[in-house]
A and B are shown apart, each in its own frame.
Chain A
Amino acid sequence: MLVSALIIFAVFLLIFGLVVFFDVRKAKKHNQKYHFGRAVTAFLLLLPATLFAFFFVLLPILYSLGYGFTDYYLTKPNATEFVGFDNFKAAFEEIAEGGDLAKAIKNTAIFVVVVVPLQIGLALLLALFCNNKNRGTVIFKVCFFAPVTVSLAVTAYLWKEILTGSETGLMNQFLALFGIPAQDFLRNDDTAMLWIVVASAWQGCGFQMLIFLSALTGIRKELYEAARMDGCNAFQRFLRVTLPGLKPTLVYIVITVFIGACRIMVQPYLMINVYADRNITISYYMYEQVFTSYRVGYSSAVAFLMTIFIGTITLIQRKFLGEKKR
């Protein structure tokens, strides 16, 4: 550990030294004076955050990547050996054979594709609904935001109770009012994922609503008035003033919600409680690989693949949604 800390510090120093070196060169080129005192201050200010990031972000990532190339078995850490690309090969074989990983990817993909537009759309609707100065709306804001403040485990359990298969379940009692027979929502392969989507959109959208709300207040009132004078009706104003005004926020929200959705695990795990075809997601699969099958090396390889995949998609989203720079 001490060795790695020293190495990290050395790397940090090296990077910082390079930055200073190039800055000095640039300053010389433009005939400006370079202030070493400021560089030292900057160095000291950057140090704590950098060390934190190295130890708690970069180091685990590097370790995890390293494990991906070993046969690290949770109960036999001392027998670990380097196995090259075997784990990655195994992962691709699993996908090709339609094994658990393939099902996990399919479930995760369905979840992401449905939950991202649903949650963001819901958040936008709620924000538009709350975006006025009537005193009553603060109550709605609190209600919509409340689920965000509640622990994921608690809300998962809450939804599990609502959707329980027995006739006493809240949802089934409600359906009974319309004469619909009791359903077992979470044990049904077709509806389980749908309800997981609903539960997580419900839990998450309050946060995005808040971000949308603050972005909405940033759109100037005169723009709406100008649009009215230009002949826009309410819907056209939304389309041509509100949406463009929200665009930078929207990009941020799409990316963060997408990344969050890719990592979905708590709701499928707690709402259904068994590791089954209908609810495994990629994160859930990795978790099972480590804590049930003890295959840390293999799980690390999968995690690494997933990181690359999410990173790629995020870059693509940024390219298509982001502001075009002139």
Chain B
Amino acid sequence: MAKLLLSNICKVYPSRDKQPSIFKRLFTKDKSKLKKPEDFVAVKNFNLEIEDGEFVVFVGPSGCGKSTTLRMIAGLEDITAGELYMDDVLLNNVDPMNRDMAMVFQSYALYPHLTAYDNIAFGLKIRKIEDTVTDKDGNTKTIKRHHTKAEIDEKVQWAAEILGIKELLGRKPSEMSGGQCQRVALGRAIVRGPKVFLLDEPLSNLDAKLRTSMRSEIVKLHQRLGTTFIYVTHDQIEAMTMGTKIVVMKDGVIQQVDKPTDLFLYPNNIFVAGFIGTPQMNFFDVVLKGDSSKVNLTLEDGETLALDAKKMRKINPEYLDNEEHNCVLGVRAEHLKIADKGINAVLSIFEILGTTTHLFMHLENQEKEFIVATDESRAWVHGDKFKLFFDEEKIHLFDKESGLSILEGAKK
């Protein structure tokens, strides 16, 4: 059992810039001109509860603090502020070796001088286990001892069996492919039976095909072991396909924590809406004006979408006061339909991807492009004009200033 609680966790890296030299400090009259190196806040007020056995994915663009958070959980990085608990035990100052977690690195980090077998067995050889023995007087006592060779062999073979790397056990890392190395690295992690698995972009160094197959293998591994997994990736597809709980991050701040479907259907803000889903959600600047029954959205080219508020997700009543509000309309490519009437759009380019075709369009007299996904196959011609229907049930609305969704979220 391992429940993790991250409470207000922050990470501040001291600046790598140099302090102004002592001479500069002495001889500059205007002290305000001396630039003090500024500390860098990599993770800010991170709050998260992770239940036992969950598959949590941290996802976000590169540099948003995912690895830093994971490494703080592992103990490889100090926690600047906040608390980390595992089963109500404060972990902040516990050494990584005593946290009972295992980590898989993006670069595999296999010991290059050891064979796959020894790499997997490494942690078992290092750690001692508790064992109860009965001495000849019949007293039982608990001792700490190393694993025996047979015990180690049994566990290594078990891990190798699960990961399908039995025939690779005699090889050194330099004699294996990336995918094989990553399997060995997974083996090294599972063999110890840790309470939590931490995986930092474990598939990023693999080619696309292998990535897809390893993805499902890791999910299977999770189902089989039932242990808590914390998985870091910058790839939203990986996140959506693997996670049971997804944590979207940006600039060190959590944007949204949700199930994959809810993240897709009910994004909290523009960032999440744009980050999750391919092709990226289309955004239009609109002016919203309406009441509880009828909502008008005026697009930049002056056209107006008249929507039935009853059909839409519930809008925050503050915006339904018949005043004008600057908003952002978000709609996914597959929820824009070519129809007989609606908003006028011009086709600029198209990409045929088998059954689906992506049409890159723009509003008349506007330059900003958006994408329409359609299953129709016809002879598309550059410059053709269309009318577009916006699916009321599927549209998203955000406040332009704060970027937050003004629609009601998922029912929980």
Contact = CB atoms under 8 A, between A and B. Distances in A.
A260 to B, nearest CB: 27
B111 A244 contact: yes
A225 B105 contact: yes
B107 A229 contact: no
A146 B239 CA distance: 55
A220 interface: yes
Interface in B61-90: 74-76
Contacts of A245: 112-113
Contacts of A227: 111, 122
B322 to A, nearest CB: 59
Of A220, A226, A231, most buried by chain B (CB within 10 Å of CB) is A226
Interface string A194-215: 0000000000000000000000
Given A222-B109, A223-B111, A229 B96 contact: yes
A227 B74 CA distance: 12
Contacts of A223: 109, 111
B111 A231 contact: no
B109 A231 contact: no
A148 interface: no
Contacts of B111: 223, 226-227, 240-241, 244
A233 interface: yes
A239 to B, nearest CB: 10
A236 interface: yes
Contact of A231 (B76, B97, B107): B97
B277 interface: no
A226 B103 contact: yes
A33 B111 CA distance: 42
B123 A231 contact: yes
Interface in B92-138: 95-97, 101-103, 105, 107, 109-113, 122-123, 126-127
A247 B97 contact: no
Contacts of A226: 103, 105, 109-111, 188
Contact of A229 (B103, B110, B112, B113): B103
A191 to B, nearest CB: 41
A233 B97 contact: yes
B101 A230 contact: no
A188 to B, nearest CB: 45
Contacts of B112: 244-245
Given A227-B122, A228-B75, 5 more contacts: A220-B107, A226-B110, A229-B97, A229-B102, A232-B97
16 contacts: A222-B105, A225-B76, A226-B103, A226-B105, A226-B109, A226-B111, A228-B97, A229-B102, A229-B123, A230-B127, A230-B192, A231-B127, A240-B122, A241-B111, A245-B113, A247-B113
